[in-house]
Amino acid sequence: MASVLQPGEVAVDATVGNGHDTLFLAQQVGAQGHVYGFDIQEEALARTRRRLEEAGLRDRVTLLQMGHEHMAEAVPAAWHGRIGAVMFNLGYLPGGSDRTCITRPQTTVPALEAALRLLRPGGVLTVVAYRGHPGGPKRPKPCGNGPKRSTPTASWPPVMPSATDGDRRRNCS
Ligand SMILES: C[S@@+](CC[C@H](N)C(=O)[O-])C[C@H]1O[C@@H](n2cnc3c(N)ncnc32)[C@H](O)[C@@H]1O
């Protein structure tokens, strides 16, 4: 990831959770870059917001209370085919109040397909899947070895987005 995602790029954290990956992506894209972060739980977004504020990187990230299956609607069209990296970390919110609120195949699969369309040539998609909980084994099976790279389709460079958060609530069900 660190060798692919360059300063000034735009990245997506499809499951912000406690914000560890969001913070990593925000550091990686630098002051000129931007990150879109998705989670359906306000609890996760609040934790991530706090983590980013403590690091002084809040303005590099747009946090969206929205299912990642809607990422193509939420990420501006100008960025489609130009995203440097998309990260998925499947499962429940560690330390959260509702361990039954987990990622599910019926939304994860469309989100993965959307993510592949958003990536730039040579962009990287990572999926981390924790199988040690009741919903874990239901996740899509791995479909290859190592990170998935996109095929060349888009031009460069795009225009930077502004850091405006969104709140299109989705329930966990
Ligand atoms: C394992 S945690 C992510 C951990 C995170 N990457 C971190 O660094 O702490 C999985 C997260 O996915 C979220 N989630 C579940 N369904 C989702 C969906 N459809 N879209 C976006 N996030 C979802 C959960 O609320 C949970 O916070």
Domains and CATH numbers, the chain: 10-145 (3.40.50.150)
Residue 80 half-sphere exposure, CB side, CA atoms within 13 Å? 9
Query: Which amino acid residue places its CA nearest to atom 27 of ligand 1?
Result: 17
Any ligand 1 atom below 6 A from CB of 41: yes
pLDDT band of 143, cuts 50, 70, 90 = very low
Average pLDDT over residues 16-26: 98
The mean predicted confidence, pLDDT, of the chain is 86
Site of tokens 């990230």 = 61
Please tell me the distance between residue 89's alpha carbon and the centre of ligand 1 in angstroms: 6
Please tell me the distance between residue 172's alpha carbon and the centre of ligand 1 in angstroms: 11
What pLDDT sits at residue 126?
97
Residue 4, token pair as written in the block:
């692919």
Q: What angle do CA 115, 118, 119 make, to 5 degrees?
A: 90
Atom of ligand 1 minimally distant from the CA of 38: 21
Any ligand 1 atom below 6 A from CB of 27: no
Any ligand 1 atom below 6 A from CB of 18: yes
Residue 96 half-sphere exposure, CB side, CA atoms within 13 Å? 24
Query: Which amino acid residue places its CA nearest to atom 12 of ligand 1?
Result: 15
Which of 23, 38, 39 gets mutated to test ligand 1 (max ligand atoms within 8 A of its CB)?
A: 39
Percent of the chain exceeding pLDDT 90 equals 72
Length of the chain in residues, anyone? 173
For the stretch 109-121, pLDDT in tens is 999 999 999 999 9
Query: Which amino acid residue places its CA nearest to atom 22 of ligand 1?
Result: 39
What pLDDT sits at residue 140?
53
Any ligand 1 atom below 6 A from CB of 66: no
Name the DSSP letter for residue 73: H
Any ligand 1 atom below 6 A from CB of 99: no
